[in-house]
Copies of this chain bind each other. A is one copy, B any other.
Amino acid sequence: MSNQAPHPALLIPGPIEFDDAVLQSMSHYSESHVGAPFVKTFGEALSMLRQLFQTTNPASQPFVISGSGTLGWDQVAANMTEPGDEALVLHTGYFADSFADCFETYGVKVTQLKAPIGDRPQLDDIEKALKERKYKVLTVTHVDTSTGVLSEIPALSELVRRVSPETLLVVDGVCSVGCEEIRFDEWDIDCVLTASQKAIGCPAGLSILMVSGRAIESFKARKVRPNSYFGSWKNWLPIMQNYEAKKPSYFATPSPQLVHALHTSLTQILSRPLAERFARHKEVSDKVKKAITDLGLKQLASKPENQASAMTAIYLPNDLTPPEVLPSLLKKGVIFAGGLHKEIAAKYIRFGHMGVSIMDPQRTDIDDAIKALKEGLEEAGYKA
């Protein structure tokens, strides 16, 4: 079934399991980062990202830079805002606090709009906030990896354009790109930032962004230079444009092996209609969520409409804690993640269901995981 050494199924909300061909691409022989073969590979990967984000507007600009997903926050804060600007950060869990901290590092004033755990800020409250102050950017976590809460982008975008049309809409899609639909043009988004190791299905090490023409124009009109060097679009914009035009150029050395793996994973994703991929993730997610409910367990994401397809965050029953449950799941060949939301980390676990574990019909990862969870909880004394 797989050429990989036997190993437990990694079902955390990223990194996910990777396809054999993607992992083999990681072993590609060494190439010059400015030689024609690699320039072609990188350029094609950038163009394929346009398809993944469903953008045909030539003004949209993809960026692929070596780094963790977190580097995407620095890119937003250093390039899309200037010191003294205001940012409205919608809070659905752990990652909004960190994104806010990143903005403050770059001298941006942050207002957080917090929802109760398991919920998302409501449109009425967002509208009120947008009317109170002029925000340069509004950020939303599409799927919050700490809670499994899904945010609704189209309605949010419509609201922003109606109430504060110049505010740039930034979507943190680290845990959504590749498994939740994103229509970059149609939803009029200004930036989606993501990482390689989740539903895109490529090992960690790439910060991936799609940026709108409006955001690039705003960037070009900055009064001060970007206050990051490695994360500066002033340095990277010509490089990305050159790679996509198949012209060699240099700012900092990219990772040819990771870019090859990204090329392979994007080729696989785009070989089938995207709608099919999103529907399949939704279908498997529904199955997981039904199994969780059948086990008598509750999710952090409290309402069906705010539950992500990417993952499920599950409250443990009987006051069990992750260290009492996760090791027995590991013995059964399944790796789940512990809690991450600071206030309740000891009370829940996270089950990621993205990528090949969902899309490869030969894999039984998800059914095995549901079975392991049931048995593991029973061994810990829980009866559904």
- Asked if A67 CB lies within 8 Å of chain B CBs, one says yes
A205 to B256, CA, bound (A): 9
A307 to chain B, nearest CB (A): 23
A118 to B375, CA, bound (A): 69
A109 to chain B, nearest CB (A): 15
- State whether A252 and B29 are in contact (beta carbons under 8 Å apart), knowing that A35-B335, A228-B105, A230-B74 are contacts in the complex: no
- Asked if A18 CB lies within 8 Å of chain B CBs, one says yes
- State whether A232 and B105 are in contact (beta carbons under 8 Å apart), knowing that A67-B71, A205-B255, A253-B68 are contacts in the complex: yes
Residues of B within 8 A of A77 (CB): 229
- State whether A252 and B69 are in contact (beta carbons under 8 Å apart), knowing that A74-B229, A77-B229, A337-B32 are contacts in the complex: yes
A255 to B261, CA, bound (A): 13
A200 to chain B, nearest CB (A): 13
Residues of B within 8 A of A337 (CB): 32, 34
Give a binary string over A15-35; 1 marks a CB under 8 Å from any B CB, 0 the rest: 111100001101111111111
Interface size on A, residues (CB 8 A): 61
- State whether A105 and B10 are in contact (beta carbons under 8 Å apart), knowing that A253-B69, A256-B15 are contacts in the complex: no
Question: Are A16 and B29 in touch, CB under 8 angstroms?
Answer: no
Which one of B12, B26, B67, B251 lies within 8 Å of A26 (CB-CB)? B26
Q: Quick one: closest B residue to A232, CB to CB?
A: B105
A77 to B30, CA, bound (A): 31
Q: Quick one: closest B residue to A231, CB to CB?
A: B230
- Asked if A5 CB lies within 8 Å of chain B CBs, one says yes
Which one of B16, B105, B197 lies within 8 Å of A229 (CB-CB)? B105
Question: Are B23 and A29 in touch, CB under 8 angstroms?
Answer: yes
- Asked if A14 CB lies within 8 Å of chain B CBs, one says yes
Residues of B within 8 A of A5 (CB): 29
Binding site for B on A (CB under 8 A): 4-5, 7, 10, 12, 14-18, 23-24, 26-35, 65-71, 73-74, 77, 101-102, 105-106, 195, 197, 203-205, 225-232, 250-258, 335, 337, 340
